[in-house]
Amino acid sequence: MPSAVAGRAEMVIGGRYRVIRELATGGMGTVYEAENTRTRRRVAIKTIRPEVAQRVSVVQRFEREARAAGQLRHPNIIDVLDMGDDAEHQLLFIVEEFLVGGDLGQCLRAVGTLGPRAALATLLPIMDALVAAHAHGVVHRDLKPDNIFLHETPQGVIPKLIDFGIAKLSEPTLDGRRASLGSLVGSPIYMSPEQARADASIDARTDVWSMGVVFYEALTGRTPFEGASAFALFTQLAADQPVAIATIAPQLPADLAAVIQRAVTKDRAARWPTMAAFAEALRACEAWRDVDPAEAARSIMNAAGVSRAVESVRSPAAVADRTTVDMDDPGPTLSMDSDRHGSGLWTGELSPAAPPAAPRRARWAPVLAAGALVAAVITGVVVTRRDHGDPPALTPAAVAVNPPPPVAPAPPRSPPPAPAATATPDAGAPRAALVRRAPTRRIIRRPAAPAPPVTRGFNGAPIVD
């Protein structure tokens, strides 16, 4: 809980947004999770520190973000719900929809690169959002992975375009000049050459360039220009040509690489003329052709790099080669998600748990059962003959069919009673009687002992000694 909230029973911003907790804080201000006390809707509130709010440029950027995103209604653009000035806490604030998850930048830092299908499934919705923004005269001007939020919902991950703080609006400002005139704003790595020059004629094609760089990085792990400083990047933008994406990732489909390469063409006239044309060219690529968007959406990853797509790592041939299926069943399997071209990122997600394997019997169980059956037959013969009055002389012969293995006699615990020794003069008779009462009869009537339980590891795989 931030210092502004600590020590207070409750902090309410704007008279109706009750602060729940602090989400993030920085040099400009703080972002809170809050609840509308009237509608009970959970929201995110961005605030500016009082000392920072004295800077006119910061306040203009803050208001520009609210106006730019507030006039757009698109499922892949964050909703701006309200804006206000809290006199009690001396805060200027924006109220936005509450998003759960993290951004694409976190995802790429976690996993490195995306496969073509995952990249297209993630970024095509953002491109559609930009088409809608451009139609309303809003140019984002700060496209980068950190401004593409991977919102986690029960239905899956929904990419959301956020942070319109430096967006260029079509209407002039109060002083009659364009918002971008004579200003240099944006992230240098993703900035178009004309944006780096602070060109006043900047248009929607700067977003085409930036989106091309985002695709470039998502698929290769690199950007067309890389430098140790903003000055080095601007020098490359002015003098060099972007490195061909096909040379960095030759495994990418040629048509996909060509479409992205055109997006990062320094000459605006040779670049894709609109975001809609760029998106249409991507959808025509073989990596996306005949793809069901709803199914492809399962490959969109969250900030941790995990998607909802599930695919067994075991091939049918590998399963067929197994001699004992239930003994080698690894339980839940690690899902690998990539596109059909085999390039880019592999992501993992545990598949649904496999049904529990049937209890396994020991390999010597058949031998034990056969031995028990033979012993039962012998015992039955001996008992039958005894019941029909067979002479004692025949008993040793019946026992001799399968004599027990010799066992060294154990020393008696106490001397046997004297009457037992005198009651039976024939030494062979007690042995025959003992054989007739052998534990075999009790074993054959008792249910077979269950097999020992299967011990499995933390991932469900059986542990075999």
pLDDT tens for the chain, residues 1 to 465: 344 444 456 899 999 999 999 998 887 889 999 999 999 999 999 998 888 888 888 888 888 888 888 888 899 999 999 999 998 888 899 999 999 999 999 999 999 999 999 999 999 999 999 999 999 999 999 999 999 999 999 999 999 999 887 777 655 443 333 333 334 566 889 999 999 888 888 899 999 999 999 999 999 999 999 888 888 888 888 888 999 999 999 999 999 999 999 999 999 999 999 999 999 999 999 999 989 988 999 999 999 999 988 432 333 333 333 332 232 333 332 232 333 333 332 223 323 333 344 444 444 455 565 666 656 555 554 444 444 444 444 444 443 444 555 555 555 555 555 544 444 444 444 444 444 444 444 445 555 556 566 666 555 555 554
Cα separation, 122 vs 76, whole angstroms: 11
User: Which strands, in side-by-side order, build the sheet including 101-103?
Assistant: 101-103, 148-153, 156-161
Chain-centre distance for alpha carbon 137: 36
Considering the segment(s) 101-315+326-357 as one domain, its CATH architecture is Orthogonal Bundle (1.10)
Tens digits of residue pLDDT in 415-455: 555 544 444 444 444 444 444 444 444 445 555 556 566 66
Which residues sit opposite 168 in a β-bridge? 139
The SS3 of residue 69 is: helix
Lookup: tokens for 393? 């002389």
Identified catalytic residue from 128, 142, 163, 337: 142
The answer to whether 28 touches 49, Cβ cutoff 8 Å, is: yes
Cα separation, 213 vs 192, whole angstroms: 9
The CA-based dihedral angle spanning residues 361, 362, 368, 369, taken in that order and rounded to the nearest 10 degrees? 10
Give, in degrees to the nearest 5, the angle at Cα 461 between 456 and 462.
50
Q: For 242-246, which contacts have Cβ atoms below 8 Å and span 24 or more sequence positions?
A: 242/266, 245/216, 245/219, 245/220
Per the annotation, the verdict on 142 as an active-site residue is yes
Instruction: Name the class of domain 1-98.
Output: alpha beta
Cα separation, 76 vs 394, whole angstroms: 94
Tens digits of residue pLDDT in 386-412: 444 444 444 444 434 445 555 555 555
Tell me the whole-structure pTM to 2 decimals.
0.63
